[in-house]
A and B are shown apart, each in its own frame.
Chain A
Amino acid sequence: MKILVIEDDKSTSDYIAQGLEQAGHLVTVADNGNDGLFHATDGNFDVIILDRMLPGIDGIEVIGSLRRAGSSVPVLMLTARAGLEDRVEGLDSGVDDYLVKPFAFSELNARINALVRRHQPEAVETTLCAGGIELDRLKRQVTRDGVMVDLQPREFTLLEELLRNSGKVVTRTMLLERVWNFHFDPKTNIVETHISRLRSKLNEQCDKDAIITVRGAGYMIAADV
């Protein structure tokens, strides 16, 4: 993927660029808002990582200009500000996801992947499939290899999120936000406990583990090859 990183702090941009390049992406870095906006409108990027606080024009203005110019490139905003209204302001201004510093690279990686996938043209599917699992959104039913699996509403939503991002890692923080709408990280690992419940229900009739735990990153359901 072609990725643009607009970040004025060199050690952060180095950190991000290094990680992304190692993952096989092509990275361009801009260290201020004006250059960043220039690259963004000019180049053809798959995703933009934008810091909120920038010299020149700030992150919110960059995304504002970008969206007004008609660009629908997925944008992930980085910031040191964790307040809920800051998040809402960021999302309102046109950003697609919001990540608070400091973050683990695996978190950034997982979110970028999720963003790109979301932006690929897809019809709203009523059924999600992967690895033998079929989830019917309308009927609220789940089967694995044809056998019905009885899930609680929360487990259903959890599975839905994993299937939507099949083949990609979904981090614990992403699940907390999307399944529970919690924008904080409880010390008790509620995600893990729900995942293990979900897992045991899905694995009842199968010996292959439906859900893969990626250490240090999150969870994943393998996509159909």
Chain B
Amino acid sequence: MRELAWIYTVLFMTATAILGWAVYTSTQKALDQQLNSRISAEADDLLTLYQREGINGLSDEIMRQEARPDLNRVGFILTDSHGKRIAGSFPATTPKPGWSIVLFDDEDEGDQKDQARAYTQVLSDGSRLAIVADLESAEAIGETLLLQFLIAFGAMLVIGTGGGFLLTLLLRRRLDGINQAASAIIGGDLSKRMPVDGSGGEFDQLSHTLNKMLDRIATLMENLRQVSGDIAHDLRSPLNRLRQRLEGGLSEDLDPAGRKQAIEGAIGQADDLLAIFAALLGISEIEAGQIKSTFKPLRLDRIVDDICEAYQPAAQDAGFSLSCEIDSDCTISGDRHLLGQMLTNLLDNCLRHSMQGSQIFVQLLNKDNRVELIVSDDGPGIPEGRRAEMLRRFARMEASRTTSGNGLGLSLVKAIADAHGARLSLSDNQPGLKVTIDFKSSRAPIRTISHA
């Protein structure tokens, strides 16, 4: 954290230094240019004057200009061809022709010699005219600028470092909040949540996301507690019955045939229990969610068609009327094995819970980019208040407590639907139960086949 602040400050300051230097040098250059232009302009003007009015006119002009109380004016040196001063009071010797730097004694500065820029021309009669401009003001500006930059730089250093530390402090505090909450949770308090201040900033979002994750974990743990409790509770009875059968098999009154029957009955019970465990394992595996990687695009219409056809005789024998309406070309991404299990579970449920002579209706609808599977019957149904509960493992309606079946059917259906990213909903078929499973389609729709 601290390194970050330092790096940032260093980078920023380097950038500022470079920028400052650039500005400084360009300003200096500009000022130089300006000075040179002034000198050039003045030189041109005087040359013109000389050409018009000769050396005397020039000399007069110089005296006139020097009489003006203009502190910023240029200085003049006009000497004849022998070097004797004719006009101009600039306190320096005549410089060479062309551009040059001249040293002179400026009264204000004491002993130090000052610098000035000069442009010297040789006139047609041999005399020399030098226009000189004091570099003092330019220098002053330059110095001021440098000073300003140094002050700014220093300020930046202080502010940057200070700011960096302040930021670190704030971040540290925020992170500490999160760390503390995390420690509390690790320590076992699952109800703790990350601090949120409603600002909507990145840390807030992080806290929100972590909180959602914690909610999910809490749900899973609650699930786990509930399932363990349910399992212990609901498996006791079948295990008890198993024991009773076996115990009955030990009875002295039994003949070999009777004994055989008792053992066979016990085996049947044991098989039922094994089936329950297999289903539970299946549900766990599905919920653990590694499944998605094995999903392939498949034709749900073909699967539903196969199963409907397979169930026809069984439905008829049980006195039900099973009709199926299946749209063609319903492609979704999934696992054939699981989807088959899901549908057979639903049909098994219909056949088991409804009274004889009932209707079972299976529909597979190809909608815009969704595929909807609807299994409905006209049996007892599930009242609205109990629907969420019925999706849990081992849940049973009172009326069916004694019928065969282990109460895992709907929870398996839910687990498979969830694994496929499909939405499961239970509703009133008026009368009866209507189970709707809504999948995301993998392709575009075409239309219907139906058979009954």
Interface residues of A (CB under 8 A from B): 82-85, 102, 104, 154, 180-190, 192-194, 196-197, 216
What are 17 A-B residue pairs whose CB atoms fall within 8 Å in the complex? A82-B281, A84-B335, A84-B336, A84-B337, A181-B306, A182-B310, A182-B344, A184-B341, A184-B344, A186-B348, A187-B404, A188-B314, A190-B311, A193-B314, A194-B310, A194-B313, A197-B313
Closest CB-CB distance, A101 to chain B, in whole Å? 10
Contact B294 A84 (CB under 8 A): yes
Q: A184-B344, A187-B404 are in contact. List 8 more A-B contacts (CB 8 A).
A: A182-B340, A184-B341, A187-B348, A188-B347, A188-B348, A190-B310, A194-B313, A197-B313
Taking CB atoms, residues of chain B closer than 8 Å to A187 are: 344-345, 348, 352, 404-405
| B349 nearest CB neighbor, chain A only | A187
Closest CB-CB distance, A118 to chain B, in whole Å? 24
- Indicate whether A183 sits within 8 Å of B306 (C-beta atoms), given known contacts A188-B311, A193-B313: no
Taking CB atoms, residues of chain A closer than 8 Å to B281 are: 82
- Indicate whether A154 sits within 8 Å of B310 (C-beta atoms), given known contacts A84-B294, A186-B348: yes
Taking CB atoms, residues of chain A closer than 8 Å to B294 are: 84-85
Contact B314 A83 (CB under 8 A): no
Within 8 A of A (CB), among B241-272: 264, 271
A83 to B135, CA, bound (A): 91
Contact A82 B282 (CB under 8 A): yes
| A88 nearest CB neighbor, chain B only | B294
User: What does DSSP make chain B's interface, helix, strand, loop or mixed?
Assistant: helix
B49 at the interface (CB under 8 A from A): no
Taking CB atoms, residues of chain B closer than 8 Å to A85 are: 294
B278 at the interface (CB under 8 A from A): yes
A188 to B281, CA, bound (A): 20
B309 at the interface (CB under 8 A from A): yes
Closest CB-CB distance, B266 to chain A, in whole Å? 13
B132 at the interface (CB under 8 A from A): no
B317 at the interface (CB under 8 A from A): yes
| Chain A to chain B: the 8 pairs with minimum beta-carbon distance, closest first | A193-B313, A186-B344, A193-B314, A187-B348, A84-B337, A190-B310, A184-B341, A188-B314
Taking CB atoms, residues of chain B closer than 8 Å to A184 are: 337, 340-341, 344
| B337 nearest CB neighbor, chain A only | A84
Closest CB-CB distance, B295 to chain A, in whole Å? 11
Taking CB atoms, residues of chain B closer than 8 Å to A188 are: 311, 314, 344, 347-348, 351
B105 at the interface (CB under 8 A from A): no
A150 to B281, CA, bound (A): 43
B171 at the interface (CB under 8 A from A): no
Contact A154 B309 (CB under 8 A): yes
B368 at the interface (CB under 8 A from A): no
Closest CB-CB distance, B10 to chain A, in whole Å? 55
Closest CB-CB distance, B322 to chain A, in whole Å? 11
B311, B316, B344, B352: most-surrounded residue (chain A CB, <10 A): B344
Closest CB-CB distance, B350 to chain A, in whole Å? 9
Taking CB atoms, residues of chain B closer than 8 Å to A183 are: 337
Closest CB-CB distance, B303 to chain A, in whole Å? 10
A180 to B405, CA, bound (A): 23
B274 at the interface (CB under 8 A from A): yes
Contact B317 A193 (CB under 8 A): yes
Closest CB-CB distance, A215 to chain B, in whole Å? 9
Closest CB-CB distance, B380 to chain A, in whole Å? 18
Within 8 A of A (CB), among B261-315: 264, 271, 274-275, 278, 281-282, 285, 294, 306, 309-311, 313-314
Contact B314 A180 (CB under 8 A): no
Within 8 A of A (CB), among B326-369: 335-337, 340-341, 344-345, 347-348, 351-352
Closest CB-CB distance, B338 to chain A, in whole Å? 8
Contact B311 A180 (CB under 8 A): no
Contact A180 B337 (CB under 8 A): no
A14 to B309, CA, bound (A): 41
A197 to B282, CA, bound (A): 32
Closest CB-CB distance, A148 to chain B, in whole Å? 21
- Indicate whether A190 sits within 8 Å of B337 (C-beta atoms), given known contacts A82-B282, A154-B309, A184-B344: no
A82, A181, A186, A197: most-surrounded residue (chain B CB, <10 A): A186
Taking CB atoms, residues of chain A closer than 8 Å to B274 are: 102
A8 to B413, CA, bound (A): 36
- Indicate whether A82 sits within 8 Å of B348 (C-beta atoms), given known contacts A154-B310, A182-B340, A190-B311: no
A154 to B275, CA, bound (A): 27
Taking CB atoms, residues of chain B closer than 8 Å to A216 are: 264
| B274 nearest CB neighbor, chain A only | A102
Taking CB atoms, residues of chain B closer than 8 Å to A193 are: 313-314, 316-317
Contact B314 A189 (CB under 8 A): yes
| B314 nearest CB neighbor, chain A only | A193
Taking CB atoms, residues of chain A closer than 8 Å to B282 are: 82
Closest CB-CB distance, A192 to chain B, in whole Å? 8
A84, A104, A190: most-surrounded residue (chain B CB, <10 A): A190
Taking CB atoms, residues of chain B closer than 8 Å to A102 are: 274
